[in-house]
Amino acid sequence: MSTVNNSIQDNPYLKNLVIGNTSQTTQSTGAAEPNNELGKDAFLELMVAQLKNQSPLNPTENGEFVAQLAQFSSVESLDNLNNRFDSFATSFQSNQALQASSLVGRSVTVPASQTQLPANGVVSGVAKMQTAASEVHLTISNPSGAVVDQIPLGSLPAGDHNFRWDGKQLELNGQLLDWQSSNESVPPGEYTFRVNGTSGDGSEQFDTSLSAQVSSVTMGADNKLTLNLKGMGSVDFDQIEQINQ
């Protein structure tokens, strides 16, 4: 708003008005810092005062007045935009909280290496192969670190590969593997999943995402939503990759 500021400096009345307002603020608070920023109301008041006190011999140019009106319009538009954005942000947070609460009791897939095998249920997961690899194995361990199964997946191309494990059999990319588990079945509980293979860089471990049941939802002081997952712990709401059936 350089035009308005220049007009204030050139107009003794406006200059005194601004100084007077600053002095009153300082006196009333005792230690308040001068506020050099004009709100829309003060901006309009100063512009009207400028018109009332302009010199008849040197009135404000039409172009300058139009420019000041445009500046006022911009200030008003920005203020309205800020209010609308605040309203939108509040509405978005409320909608997100409603969506999160509807997930309680459902299964979601998030980046993880540990989750819980539910009773009479399955663990859904994704092996994220950054590169193609051969001799790929899925190793499943119990909480004490003992390996309960090591399942050969063969050679896999780069990309995401979906698997489902029920404690005994494994389904990979929709196909049941022709593979015999070394265990009759493993009990429900927490298990760790690791995917390893051999690529051009040698032995490599690949990232996994796993399913878990949402037990509750927490909203923090900063309105950040956190999902509490069985056998996995807490994860941010925005980490959800998939909502399962």
Range of the domain at 163: 107-243
What is each CA distance from 24 to 34, 152, 207, in whole angstroms? 10, 80, 64
| Domains in the chain, number | 2
Q: Final residue of a domain: which of 77, 100, 123?
A: 100
Contacts of 205 (CB under 8 A, 6+ apart): 194, 195, 196
Terminal C-alpha separation, the chain: 57
Same domain, 173 and 137: yes
Same domain, 91 and 177: no
CATH number, domain at 134?
2.60.40.4070
Same domain, 64 and 113: no
Same domain, 9 and 70: yes
What is each CA distance from 174 to 27, 30, 68, 163, 230, in whole angstroms? 76, 74, 67, 8, 25
Same domain, 119 and 216: yes
Grouping H, G, I as helix, E, B as strand and the rest as coil, residue 94 is helix
Overall pTM > 0.75: no
Same domain, 89 and 25: yes
Same domain, 144 and 219: yes
Same domain, 114 and 90: no
Same domain, 46 and 115: no
Same domain, 95 and 116: no
Same domain, 78 and 140: no
Q: Per-residue confidence of the chain (245 residues) as pLDDT tens digits?
A: 444 444 445 544 444 444 444 444 444 455 555 555 555 666 667 767 776 776 666 665 556 666 666 666 666 666 666 767 666 556 666 676 777 788 899 999 999 999 999 988 899 999 999 999 999 999 999 999 999 999 999 999 999 999 999 988 999 999 999 877 777 778 999 999 999 999 988 999 999 999 999 999 888 777 788 999 999 999 998 899 999 87
Compute the distance between CA of residue 217 and CA of residue 207 in angstroms, rounded to an integer: 25
Same domain, 132 and 222: yes
Residue 112 backbone dihedrals phi, psi, to 5 degrees: -170, 165
